[in-house]
Chain A
Amino acid sequence: MKSKPSKAQNALLALTSTAITLPGAQVLAEETGKSVEPRVIGVRFTNYQEANIDANKRNDPDLAERYDIAVTQVSLNWPLSDKWALNIDFIQDVMSGGSPWYVKPKGQIDLDTGEVTDETPVQVMTSPTLEDTRQDFSFKTTYFHDMGSLGARLGVSEEDDYTSVYGGVDFSFDFNEKQTTVSSGFSFAADRLSPTPEVTPSNRIKRENKGTFSMFAGVSQVINRVSVLQAAMSITQHNGYLSDPYKQVWVRGIPQVENRPTNKTQFVITAGYRYFFPDKNAAIHTNVRLYEDSWNMKSETFEVKWVQSLANNWQIIPSFRYYTQSQADFYAPYYLDVLEDDQNASSDYRLSPFGSISVGAQVIKKIGRWNFTGLVENYSSDKSLGIGSVQVGNPGLVDYLRFTLGFDIEFE
């Protein structure tokens, strides 16, 4: 026997791995071994353009610009045998522009009475000269056994001022002739923040840490030939410095570093349903996500996608997502009174009550071993979509337009 498989031997392997997936050969599959997945390299380029802050929502007439983010993703799915697979992912984000800094009332405050002449909140932006690059590299190895799979991931994410090391283990088991799949796992992250001194006011932190631990469990059930139901839940615990060192809060006329609690517990429940319409050659995917955390934030997400296959290997996927959340209990756009004893305060729009609607469309075209994809998404957020009736919205709520172009190529 030769030690290295030749091109011709690969032919036998490739033909056999396809042949055993034929319905008539299904039992033989168990005898001849599992079909080997193709090796795939995927590349994606994404651009997020955050809309400028409206003139009536900002403090400075000149500072309106927000982030442009360019994301490059390269992923490699490389089966090593019918038992082992390796996944390698690389992501680079290049951010440039300005970021919401703090929110203040439009009018003047009378420190004796705590009253302001105009309570309308306005956003103070940083100058649009921020630049940051994040690089994230991770690899995952998966072992496929007769009843499911076992996977382990390790990754590192680096920015000038931020380093995260993360990892996790997950497993899945198939039952019921693969009609039911149960999966579970845990993950962790250890992060170090070291804000860059040149943009750091003197009262900002020098170095802090935070840690994350998360567990999940899920089940996927094939209901019949055309529908699948999925459900999952997760618990995540964050400890350490959970504030954003670049964000400030306005307290009685004085901007100061924001301060969030040093721990947070998150609960998430998700449910998904997929239904395939054979006569329309299309499928509907719906997902619901419910979220609650120990900062008293709640959110709900509803998402629906229509996956339509067309002639000549085209696919078009319009999508709609609705999201709504309530505020964290220590959040305020600004603070007219002295802070509570715990000193917790944040005016980050992400902790404010709001909701969003995003509408997107994806197009996929397969040409031989190539899969090309393009995606456009329009995301807009507003206080009126938040949970409950929101009196004062955060002026820093973001709208963005996202474009993604990419391709996957399959290898034998």
Chain B
Amino acid sequence: MSEAKLELFTTSFKAMGSPCEIRLMAESLARAEAVSELAIHEIQRLEQKYSRFREDSLLTDINSRAGTGIPTPIDVETYTLLKYSDQCYRHSDGLFDITSGVLSRVWNLKSNELPSKAAIEAVLSLVGWGNVIFDEATVELVKPGMQLDLGGVVKEYAADAAANLCRKQGIMGGFVNLGGDITIIGPNVGDSPWQVGVATPWKREIPIANIPLKEGAIATSGDYERCKIVDGERFSHLLNPKTGWPVKSFASVSIHSSLCLTAGSLATIVMLKGVEEGLEWLHDVQVPYLAVTHEGKIFKNEF
């Protein structure tokens, strides 16, 4: 069988608040564009459905009914994402909680002041996965003012879904990169790996490491870019749903797994656990990882 000559095509775009790119090995530009368009469409579909910031999203629908006692009908995809989030909650001892997004209201990253204890307490009462009731058909937030935030899972899921769609279209090589969360479609030319760069937390354009990957996905969770500094102390955008306070953790954690979704959730859980406990947990999970502390110290395994 003679192999068609494949070329590498790159499409750059912006989605889910991040710079994104899709790289495909394809026979022609036309084919690469057609497949990329489908993939981008899929990413936009997920953004439209699960964005907290869009009035027409399903998530806004769900959040706007919080405390009314009216359940919102959901489909299999949403149900499975909720079930998945439930697994994350349980396996992180409650640290990974998709109701904790409301905490960012009081931790405004643009302000230079710390929120008052009372303000934190008030908003903390709206956090609690236990107050989300869902089944295959509906979801309901029990308390008024509660909010679901699927930001921590949807971008990674979108990378998996887009890569999957490219594969279904017959693309054998390439990857989808959504703001550093990357799912490999298939290997590079001649079955060689892609060199996936993990950004240096404090200098994004320079990779701290290049990781050769032929399959699977890599996701990164970090707090270097999104944090606030008050009186010289840095406060991460990652908030502990139990205390309402930012966690003190790594500058970034990157994890390799078969799916971008699981890689991303594991990375987030490690961030939420903090350096010491996070490292211990990583060691137990036995996934390839690369974790960088704010002091510049690198911990890694199998990378």
Binding site for B on A (CB under 8 A): 1-2, 6-12, 14-16, 18-28, 31-32, 281, 309, 311-313, 366, 412
Instruction: Decide if A23 touches B284 in the complex (CB within 8 Å).
Output: no
Contact of B133 among A23, A25, A311 (CB under 8 A): A311
Nearest residue, chain A, Cβ from B91: A11
For residue A410, give the distance in angstroms from its CB to the closest CB of chain B: 11
Contact (Cβ within 8 A) B164 A281:
no
Question: What are 22 A-B contacts defined by CB distance under 8 Å?
Answer: A7-B284, A8-B91, A8-B285, A9-B285, A9-B286, A10-B91, A11-B266, A11-B285, A12-B266, A14-B87, A15-B91, A16-B259, A19-B84, A22-B81, A23-B76, A23-B161, A25-B164, A27-B164, A27-B167, A28-B259, A32-B259, A311-B69
Q: Which residues of B contact A312 (CB under 8 A)?
A: 71, 133, 140
B261 touches A25 (CB 8 A): yes
Q: Are B71 and A22 neighbours in the complex by a CB distance under 8 Å? A: no
Using C-beta atoms within 8 Å of the partner chain, give the interface range for chain B: 35 or more
The closest CB in chain B to the CB of A26 belongs to B164
Q: Is the CB of A313 within 8 A of B262?
A: no
Which of B71, B77, B87, B161 lies in contact with A15, CB distance below 8 A? B87
Determine the residue in chain B with the shortest Cβ distance to A18.
B84
| Residue-wise interface mask of B (250-269) relative to A, using a CB-CB cutoff of 8 A (1 in contact, 0 not) | 00000001110110011001
Contacts of A23 in B (CB 8 A): 76-77, 80, 161
In the complex, what residues of B have CB within 8 A of residue A366's CB? 135
CB <8 Å contact, A19 and B259: yes
Q: Find chain A residues with CB under 8 A from B88 CB.
A: 15
Say whether A12 contacts B157, CB under 8 Å: no
Given A16-B262, A309-B136, A311-B133, A25:B160 Cβ within 8 A: yes
Q: Are B285 and A311 in contact (CB under 8 A)?
A: no
Alpha-carbon distance between A28 and B216 when the two chains are bound, in angstroms: 10
Q: Using an 8 Å CB-CB cutoff, how does the interface string of B127-148 with A read, 1 for contact, 0 for none? A: 0000001111110100000000
Which residue in chain A gives the minimum CB-CB distance to B168?
Answer: A27
Told that A8-B91, A12-B262, A15-B88 touch, could you supply 4 new A-B pairs with CB distance under 8 A? A16-B258, A25-B161, A27-B164, A281-B138
Contact B160 A1 (CB under 8 A): no
Closest 7 CB pairs of A and B: A24-B161, A8-B284, A11-B91, A311-B71, A8-B285, A6-B284, A18-B84
Nearest chain A residue, comparing its CB with the CB of B80: A22
Give chain A nearest CB distance to B215 CB in angstroms. Answer: 8
**CA A8 – CA B116 in complex, angstroms?**
36
Answer yes or no: B227 CB below 8 A from chain A CBs: no
State whether the Cβ of B14 lies closer than 8 Å to any Cβ in chain A. Answer: no
The yes or no answer to B281 lying at the interface (CB within 8 A) is yes
* B165 contact set on A, CB distance < 8 A: 24
CA distance A151 to B259 in the complex (A): 32
Please tell me if the beta carbons of B257 and A313 are within 8 angstroms of each other in the complex: no
Which residues of A have CB within 8 Å of B92? 11
Interface assignment of B109: CB less than 8 Å from any CB of chain A: no
Q: How far is the CB of B144 from chain A (nearest CB, A)?
A: 16
Q: Which residues of A contact B265 (CB under 8 A)?
A: 15
A366 to B133, alpha carbons, bound, how many Å?
A: 10
Cross-chain contact of A311 among B42, B138, B257 (Cβ < 8 A):
B138
User: Do A24 and B285 touch (CB < 8 A)?
Assistant: no
B234 interface hit (Cβ, 8 Å): no
- Separation of A402 and B130 alpha carbons in the complex (Å): 35
| Complex Cα gap A111–B139 (Å) | 76
Q: Is the CB of B157 within 8 A of A24?
A: yes
**In whole angstroms, how far apart are the Cα atoms of A313 and B140 in the complex?**
10
Question: For the complex, what is the distance from the CA of A7 to the CA of B284, rounded to whole Å?
Answer: 8
> Which listed residue, A18, A25, A27, touches B83 by the CB 8 Å rule?
A18
Chain B residues closer than 8 Å to A25, beta-carbon distance: 157, 160-161, 164, 259, 261
| Complex Cα spacing A31 to B164, Å | 11
Q: Does B73 contact A (CB under 8 A)?
A: yes
With an 8 A cutoff between CB atoms, is B15 at the interface? Answer: no
Cross-chain contact B286 with A15 (CB below 8 angstroms): no
Contact partner of B258 (CB less than 8 A), chosen from A1, A2, A31, is A31
Which residues in B have their C-beta under 8 angstroms from that of A26? 164
Given contacts A1-B286, A28-B160, A32-B259, contact A18 B135 (CB under 8 A): no
Q: Does B287 interact with chain A (Cβ within 8 Å)? A: yes
Bound together, the chains give a CA A371 to CA B41 distance in angstroms of: 39
Give residues 247-301 of B contacting A (CB, 8 Å): 257-259, 261-262, 265-266, 269, 281, 284-287
With a 10 A CB-CB cut-off, give which of A7, A23, A366 has the most chain B CB atoms: A23
Query: Across the interface, do B77 and A8 meet the contact criterion of CB distance under 8 Å?
Result: no
**Chain B residues closer than 8 Å to A18, beta-carbon distance:** 80, 83-84, 87
Inter-subunit contact A281/B259 (CB<8 Å): no
Given contacts A8-B281, A15-B87, A25-B161, contact A20 B259 (CB under 8 A): yes
> A19 vs B153: C-alpha distance in the bound complex, in angstroms?
10
Complex Cα gap A1–B302 (Å):
13
With a CB–CB cut-off of 8 A, which chain A residues contact B133? Answer: 311-313
Query: Which B residues are in CB contact (< 8 Å) with A2?
Result: 286
Q: How far is the CA of A296 from the CA of B261 in the complex (A)?
A: 62
Contact with A along B175-196 (1 / 0, CB 8 A): 0000000000000000000000
Minimum CB–CB distance from B291 to chain A (whole Å) comes to 15
A residues near B157, Cβ cutoff 8 Å: 19, 22, 24-25
Residues of B within 8 A of A32 (CB): 258-259
Expressed in whole angstroms, the minimum distance between the Cβ of A149 and any Cβ of chain B is: 23
CA distance A31 to B73 in the complex (A): 31
Query: What is the distance, in angstroms, from B20's C-beta to the closest C-beta of chain A?
Result: 16
Contact A24 B77 (CB under 8 A): yes
Bound-state Cα–Cα, A31 to B217, Å: 13
CB proximity to A under 8 Å, residues B180-224: none
What chain A residues lie within 8 Å of B83 (beta carbons)? 18
CA distance A25 to B46 in the complex (A): 13
Q: Which residues of A contact B168 (CB under 8 A)?
A: 27
Closest Cβ of chain A: how far from B120's Cβ, in Å?
A: 27
Nearest-neighbour CB distance to chain A for B140, whole angstroms, equals 6
User: Which residue of the partner chain A has the closest CB to B70?
Assistant: A311
Residue of A nearest to B287 (CB): A12
| Of A22, A25, A31, most B-chain CB atoms within 10 Å | A22
What residue in chain B is nearest A281 (Cβ atoms)? B137
Nearest A residue to B286 by beta-carbon distance? A9
Residues of chain A with a CB closer than 8 A to B76's CB: 23
Question: In the complex where A6-B284, A16-B259, A18-B84 touch, is A24 in contact with B164 (Cβ < 8 A)?
Answer: yes
